[in-house]
Amino acid sequence: MCQINEEDDEAFQALKAAAANKTAISRKCMSCDQDACVVVRIADPMCRKCFEEFFIHKFRSTLSKSNVFGRGERVLIAYSGGPSSTALLHLIADGLSVNARRRLQFQAHVAYIDESSLYPESTDIRDKVTDLITNRLQHPLHIVSIDDNLDKDHDFQQILTERTKSLTAREELVRRRKLKLLFDIAIRENCTKLITGDNCTKLAAQILSDMAQGKGAHVALECNLTDTRNDSVTIVRPFREIMSKEIAMYNRLNSIESLQNADISTMTGPQSSIFQLTETLVNDLQRQFPSTVSTIFRTSDKLEKNLQPHRCDLCCCPLDLSEDQSLVSDEERIKLIQQLFSPTSQNMDSVHVCYACRRLLRDVQPISHSRQK
């Protein structure tokens, strides 16, 4: 175990006293020797100007080094209202402006999946989303409800609250359903790329959560810069090397406010689902050992992507089971999959799912069983 000597304890007490008195510790920027206002890592204090240059450079270099966007290409940005996607919108808006030093060359569209129908007590933020994206940022906006195109026998709120056993299964159903709707919007609007705001901290927690749920074969695909699970639309994650702490600092320095709204995990404890548990674990370890997130993330980069020609009908990832093992035989679950994830498919007899999605379906009760209860 590490020991704290008297000198370290005195320094800690000084830091506590300074925080209590709300006085700034005089530290110099590591780049320009000006007074620092943020500390990115333990030994990396920065002034505002240098931090913003550092943050924007990480964002732009992630996009440019892979050269994923073509000139004039139509791109769909997934907006959730959270800190990451809000910062992403502002960075792209700045990059598309006439005064940008290296102007982005693609055409940006924004998609927002409205989940307010799932939570009766939540506030409808459609007007705020419209004002931010259409009026202020002037991007084309596409708003779709999460229960869009569902019949009365497959009401999504009822599926989550009455037929799904655990919060883990509810979170995964919502996650897969939102991704399916985003793919549908992108294909309808002729967008070949889907940009998400997944940051390094969230991806590290998602990696552990996916492995715990039997999705280890897809970890490399889930955290890669470009995700090619869909043949028509490629997912791009430009924040994959930026931590949530850095995004929070950037938003605060630039007075960028996110539109917070209720989600499936609101008012739940840190051990209520597998993802909540792994997220709490990663954040706690990161506070004690600052290299935790980068270690998890870099380790996942070394995994090989096993791309097979056949895809899962729920998550669109390559199948990790044989054709016989991945085949779904229960008629009611086939109807559920077709309604939630493939409403345009005409083949109702052949539905294949990966190992993790097969486990997920075990937590969703059939309609007849839920009605008997």
* CATH at residue 277: 3.40.50.620
pLDDT of 22 over the 50 cut: no
- The whole-number pLDDT of residue 123 equals 65
Closest CA to 354 of 160, 216, 204: 216
28: DSSP letter:
B
Q: Label residue 92 by pLDDT band (50, 70, 90).
A: very high
Contacts of 259 (CB under 8 A, 6+ apart): 81, 86, 125, 128, 129, 132
Q: Label residue 19 by pLDDT band (50, 70, 90).
A: very low
What is the C-alpha to C-alpha distance for residues 130 and 333, in angstroms, rounded to an integer?
Answer: 36
What is the C-alpha to C-alpha distance for residues 274 and 126, in angstroms, rounded to an integer?
Answer: 30
More confidently predicted of 262 and 139: 139
In a domain, 109, yes or no: yes
In a domain, 152, yes or no: yes
**94-132 pLDDT tens trace:** 888 877 778 888 999 999 998 888 876 666 688 888 888
Segment 78-89 mean pLDDT: 93
In a domain, 315, yes or no: no
**Total domains present in the chain:** 1
Characterize 194-233 residue by residue with b for buried, 16 or more Cβ atoms within 10 angstroms of its Cβ, and e for exposed: bbbbbbbbbbbbbbbbbbebbbebbbbbbbbbebebbeeb
**149-164 pLDDT tens trace:** 777 666 788 888 888 8
In a domain, 23, yes or no: no
In a domain, 43, yes or no: no
**pLDDT averaged over the chain?**
82
Q: CB-side exposure of 317: number of CA atoms within 13 Å?
A: 24
pLDDT of 144 over the 50 cut: yes
Owning domain of residue 126: 48-301
pLDDT of 322 over the 70 cut: yes
Contacts of 238 (CB under 8 A, 6+ apart): 59, 62, 63, 88, 195, 225
What is the C-alpha to C-alpha distance for residues 210 and 203, in angstroms, rounded to an integer?
Answer: 10
Segment 16-38 mean pLDDT: 65
Q: What Cα–Cα distance (Å) separates residue 237 from each residue in 139, 221, 289?
A: 19, 11, 25
- The whole-number pLDDT of residue 102 equals 80
In a domain, 343, yes or no: no
- Classified as helix, coil or strand, 114 is strand
Q: Roughly how many angstroms between the first and final C-alpha of the chain, as a whole number?
A: 53
- The whole-number pLDDT of residue 274 equals 94
In a domain, 105, yes or no: yes
In a domain, 285, yes or no: yes
